A and B are shown apart, each in its own frame.
Chain A
C-alpha cells in the first residue's frame, strides 16, 4: 500500500474508466464521440501501467516508459482519426457512423 491506498483501488478505477469508454465506443452515434471513448480507454490503460509501476517496481522505469509510448500512439490515433472524420464529412456530409456504409456490398 502507498499512503494507505491499495493497488486494487487504482485497478478498479481503471477498469470502470475502460468500460465507460468502451460503452462510448459502442453506443454513440457520432464518430467524434466514439473517438472520445477511445481516448478514455487509453487513459484507463495508462492508469494501470503507472499503478503497476508504482506498486511493483518503483526503482525501475519500464511502466512509465510504456505509458509514454501509449501517449505517443494515442496522439497519433487522435490525429489520424480526426483527419479521417473531416475527410468523410467533406465527401459525405455526415459523421454519423450508421450512415457510413459505403463499403457494404
Chain B
C-alpha cells in the first residue's frame, strides 16, 4: 500500500466519521466543530487530487467563513431547543433507511460502471493560472462568473434585509 493510499484512507475516515458526528451529536456546537473537521478532511482529499487552489479555497470559505456563520447562528439561537429532547425528529428511521438505500444504489452504480482505464496524465504545472484565465475568458466562464458576482451581491443585500431588526 502506497503512502498516498494510506493518506487517502486517513482523510476519508476523518471526513466520514466527522460527518457522522455532525448529524448525530445532540450539542449543536460540537456538531459545528465536527463539521470543521470534516471540511479539513475534504481539503486533504483535494490535496491528494492535486488541486491545491481548491484545497486553499476550501479552508478559507468553509472552515473560515461558513463555519463562523453557522457558529454565530447557533450562539444567537441558543437555549431555544430543549436539550432533553432527542437530536432527531420522528422520521429519523425512515430517513436513515432511505439514505442507506440511496448510498448502496450509488456505490453499486459506481462499481458497476467501467470507468476509463487509461492512466490520467499529469496536472500541468500552471493549472492555477489556467483556471484564473478561463474564469475571465469570454470563451470560457466569464458569463457564469459575472452572474455569480451578481448573485453574491444580491445575497449580501438580501441577508442583511432579512436578518435586520425591525
Interface residues of A (CB under 8 A from B): 1-13, 15-24, 26-30, 32-33, 35-37, 39-40, 43, 46-47, 50-51, 53-56, 58-59, 61, 64-65, 67-69, 71-76, 78-80, 82-87, 89-90, 93-98
Contact = CB atoms under 8 A, between A and B. Distances in A.
A40 B40 CA distance: 12
Contacts of A19: 99-100, 102-103, 106
Contact of A58 (B45, B123, B159): B123
Best-buried of A4, A26, A27, A32 by chain B (most CB within 10 Å): A27
Given A22-B102, A75-B65, A79-B159, A61 B89 contact: no
B31 A20 contact: no
29 contacts: A2-B50, A9-B8, A18-B103, A19-B102, A20-B16, A24-B23, A26-B99, A30-B81, A32-B73, A35-B73, A40-B35, A43-B62, A47-B42, A50-B46, A54-B49, A54-B50, A56-B116, A64-B53, A68-B131, A69-B144, A76-B151, A76-B152, A82-B163, A83-B163, A84-B162, A86-B76, A90-B165, A94-B80, A95-B81
Interface residues of B, number: 88
Contacts of B151: 72-73, 76
